[in-house]
Amino acid sequence: MTRLIVAAGGGGDAVAAAMLDAALYGDEDPAVILTYAWDRLLVDPVPGPQSVHDFTGLEQLTPSVSTVPAEAHPIAPAGSTLPRLAAELPHTFAMIDPYQGALGVARQLEELVSRLGPESIDLLDVGGDVLARGDEPTLKSPLADALTLAACCQVDAPVRLLIAGPGLDGELPHEDLRGVLGSLVHTFTAKDTESISSVLEWHPSEATGMLAATARGVRGTCEVRDAGLPVPLTDEGPTVHEADMDEALSRNRLARAVVATETLEEVETHSREICGYSEIDYERNKAAWISERPSLELNPAAVLAELGQFETEARGRGVTHTTFRHITEALNLNGNQRQALRELLINSRPEQYAAPLWRIA
């Protein structure tokens, strides 16, 4: 017997799943975490989620599901955080392959349920965009969450929907979610973040980074993403709530539309029709733009000077914190310079490091 946690959007949701599992159940018998291999362009220059064919060294768990061990490698030029997560965390990371649509993901889930006989199944989303209708102007990345919701609703086993850090993904304000959030399951503490503290030092997830920061007591307004979205860091930040699966499916037009899909292309088509865009299209366009942009050298003196100007402007916007991903993009550096930038800033001004965020001076 084990527990199965489905990371609704992949990436940071998988890290949050590991933190939640450790907080609720301790270190013994860690859960299996089912997640996308989809790390966005900061880590993976190839747009869209990866499939099992984009890795070497995967281990087959069921006919349709493979796990990602520490020894696995994405096939160049792709990149992935999953092998390193497998190396640093005790959990088993199984990979969602979305290229056969919601029916394919549902089949993967059914195989896992049959193979593992889990004592519980949780669908975890950091931020709450899995509860989106699809027409919200702040919604940016509904596809993955809608696809996993559509698949989980077809599984012949009880699935609990959990929302961690309501509003922290910068997509749906907490005020819009308050009416659909159910009972409080857990409130993360600083101690809870210890299980993923090493991961937070390098993983690029902004939402899970803010989840951990609020658990550590950080409050204010954090600017995120390339667009500089302001996200409030409040006492609601470290909370985890249950939400009703049926109500979520009723609200989420995209999830309902993709229930019977058999390809990722179909899912994208529905996303364009309902939401007006596909986030994979956004990644395709951004990847093309990045490839044409000249790479700037990371000059420490110039970077710190530019950072001072950025912080001055950010203070004027009422911003108290930001992420290293946002600073990287705001200073026109590329994704593979993010870690070097992070080390430069922390070494230069350690008093501004509000782990894993950067405090505006």
pLDDT score for 13: 98
Please give the pLDDT value at position 143: 97
What pLDDT does 291 receive? Answer: 74
What Cα–Cα distance (Å) separates residue 26 from each residue in 12, 30, 34, 84? 20, 8, 19, 21
Query: Given this model, what pLDDT does residue 232 score?
Result: 97
- Residue 227: the pLDDT is 82
What are the tokens at 303? 């970077």
Q: Does residue 293 register a pLDDT over 80? A: no
Which two tokens mark 333? 């550096």
141 torsion bin: left (phi>0), alpha (psi -120 to 50), beta (else): beta
- Nearest Cα to Cα of residue 145 among 60, 282, 251: 251
At residue 47, the 3 state secondary structure works out as coil
C-alpha dihedral (247, 160, 99, 291), degrees to nearest 10: 90
What residue segments make up the domains of the chain, in order of their start? 3-220+235-257, 300-359
- pLDDT score recorded for residue 290: 79
Q: In what order do the strands lie in the sheet with 66-67?
A: 59-60, 66-67, 92-96, 32-36, 3-7, 120-126, 160-164, 239-243, 184-187
* 295 has pLDDT over 80: no
pLDDT tens per residue, range 222-247: 999 888 899 999 999 999 999 999 99
Report the chain's mean pLDDT, rounded to a whole number: 95
Position 276 pLDDT exceeds 80:
yes
The CA distance from 198 to 232, in Å, is 25
CA dist 86 and 78 (Å) reads 18
Q: What is the mean pLDDT of residues 55-63?
A: 98
**Rounded CA separation 6/125 (Å):** 9
- The percentage of the chain sitting over the pLDDT mark of 90, rounded to a whole number, equals 88
| DSSP bridge partners of 223 | 230, 322
| Chain centroid to CA 93 | 14
Handedness of CA 131, 281, 321, 44 (dihedral sign): positive
Torsion-angle region of 162 (φ positive above 0: left; ψ -120 to 50: alpha; else: beta): beta
Instruction: Please say whether the beta carbons of 168 and 280 come within 8 A.
Output: no
Residues of the chain with pLDDT > 70, as a percent, come to 99
Comparing 64-68, 183-187, 249-253, 333-337, which segment has the lowest mean pLDDT? 333-337
pLDDT in tens, 114-165: 999 999 999 999 999 999 999 999 999 999 999 999 999 999 999 999 999 9
* Cβ atoms 18, 89 nearer than 8 A: yes
Residue 333 pLDDT exceeds 90: no
SS3 65: coil
Token pair, residue 286, equals 């951004």
Least confident piece of the model among 68-72, 219-223, 289-293, 352-356: 289-293
Taking alpha carbons only, the member of 54, 18, 256, 51 closest to residue 142 is: 256
Contact 233, 354 (CB under 8 A): no
Q: What is the pLDDT of residue 361?
A: 86
